[in-house]
């Protein structure tokens, strides 16, 4: 995964598991969102501010490959990385690992378009784009 990435540790809750004690596949998508929001905080453009400015990133695509199960009591590490940032679109890649062992549990991606509060596609505001780009540079520099 290329930089700038941000990782978030999440303890697996019992409610996220199925009758076999394995994390339900839908939980991973929720974890993607948690990591994406944390990534935006890490680059200095909190999603709350973005939304308060009249925009959202609407999910238009989700992909994932499950490689190994997570179970109740595990802690997973979700690493989010921006793959592409364009005037109206942003795409993230994710790697979910077992935080204790490093084993890859899932890889995935989400694609988003910027929309206004009425749900119409919109350009990412210039000031938001600048904050994202500057924040990405700072996040990358902090890892070196």
pLDDT in tens, 28-65: 999 999 999 999 999 999 999 999 999 999 999 999 99
Q: What is the mean pLDDT of residues 70-98?
A: 97
Burial of 107 by CB count in 10 Å (0-12 exposed, 13-18 middle, 19+ buried)?
Answer: middle
Residue-averaged pLDDT of the chain: 95
pTM of the predicted model as reported, rounded to 2 decimal places: 0.93
Q: How far is CA 128 from CA 88, 123, 137, in A?
A: 11, 10, 14
What pLDDT score does 1 carry? 45
Architecture in CATH for domain 5-142: Roll (3.10)
Neighbours of 139 (CB within 10 A): 18
Q: What are phi and psi of 131, to 5 degrees?
A: -60, -40
Q: Which two tokens stand for residue 4?
A: 């700038």
Confidence of residue 2 (pLDDT cuts 50, 70, 90): low
Whether residue 11 has pLDDT greater than 80? yes
Whether residue 144 has pLDDT greater than 60? no
Q: How far is CA 135 from CA 9, 85, 138, 142, in A?
A: 21, 13, 5, 10
Q: What is the mean pLDDT of residues 69-78?
A: 97
Neighbours of 122 (CB within 10 A): 17
pLDDT digits (tens, 9 = 90+) for 116-130: 999 999 999 999 999
Nearest-CA neighbor of 128 among 34, 60, 55?
55
Domain boundaries, the chain: 5-142
Whether residue 143 has pLDDT greater than 80? no
**Alpha-carbon gap, residue 123 to 129, rounded angstroms:** 10
Cα-to-chain-centroid distance, residue 99: 17
């Amino acid at each position: 995964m290329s930089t700038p990435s941000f990782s978030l540790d999440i303890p697996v809750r019992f409610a996220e598991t199925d009758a076999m004690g394995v994390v339900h596949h839908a939980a991973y998508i929720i974890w993607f969102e948690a990591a994406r929001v944390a990534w935006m905080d890490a680059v200095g453009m909190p999603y709350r501010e973005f939304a308060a400015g009249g925009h959202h990133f609407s999910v238009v695509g989700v992909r994932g490959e499950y490689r190994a199960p997570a179970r109740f009591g595990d802690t997973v590490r979700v690493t989010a990385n921006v793959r592409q940032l364009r005037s109206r679109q942003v795409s993230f890649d994710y790697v979910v690992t077992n935080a204790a062992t490093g084993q890859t549990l899932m890889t995935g991606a989400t694609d988003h378009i910027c929309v206004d509060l009425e749900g119409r596609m919109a350009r990412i505001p210039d000031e938001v784009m600048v904050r994202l780009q500057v924040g990405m540079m700072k996040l990358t520099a902090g890892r070196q």
